[in-house]
Amino acid sequence: MTLAYASDIKPALWNVSPFMVHPMFWSLWDSKELHLAIWEEGGAPFDVSGNGNDATLPGGSADPTWGVGSDGPVMIFDGAAQYLSTPIGTLPGAFTAVIRAKRNTVEGTNDGIVGWGGGGSNFAGLLLEEDGDILHIRAVGNATATFSGVWTDKTSYHTLVFVAKSIGASEVMELYFDGVSKGTRTAEISQVTGFRVGELVGLTGKEFSGSMSFVSLISRALTAFEIALISAYPYGDITPSSLWVPSIFGGLGGVISTRNTQVIIMA
């Protein structure tokens, strides 16, 4: 039996999983700097990590639009000029970027997915090419690593995870697609000095074409196990505001969450 009370939240965003009781599942967000959750239409997505790094809309035709996809509410980027800014500043070292999205046809040579450089000569981030290649770039015209044929599908939502295991001139990065590693590369990895969604910071004309349902930035390198959990249960309620409560009826127990005042109890 499941008793549920829901207020002001899309039911499609819920995925109650027995993995919620695993300590590793809770540890996913210990170092989360930002988690933009696209739950309600109107305005810019807000940061539910507790760090106050809410996204801001650039204004006018550069604003992504709200829509509904198979994942629930999404933000739609037209590939021409639309992106989201965040107030993320400098992070000291290793980091992980998580993007849940569906791509469209690349509008130009390549489209920006996320960027973490500070602009100027530092346009660090991930670019998507029409053939599904994902490029890690350090500066304009400087693709330091290529992950070939990763994202060819244009019909479904997928979870893309980029892991920078450290920062510096010759460091290891790894890319995951729906929980599966697409390999490691060794190249220069820039420190996070800003964070933009749908565009690399300061690199205009190469914006993402598609829909996004959430974006996270975590200030450490997630493990393969953690990434597998995120990919398998992208909408499990794993924020620190949630609490697993043992069932008084002898069942699995349940989740009590302050996320939009939803309470679910499983018996």
Q: What is the mean pLDDT of residues 189-201?
A: 87
Q: 205-223, pLDDT tens digit by residue?
A: 789 999 998 898 998 999 9
Q: What is the pLDDT of residue 45?
A: 86
Structure tokens at 216: 């996270």
pLDDT tens for each residue of 64-88 = 998 888 777 889 999 988 999 888 8
Contacts for 215 with CB less than 8 Å, ≥ 6 apart:
34, 35, 36, 97, 98, 99, 100, 114, 197
* Domains in the chain: ranges and CATH: 1-16+236-267 (no CATH), 31-234 (2.60.120.200)
Strand pairing category for 263-266 and 2-5: antiparallel
**pTM score:** 0.79
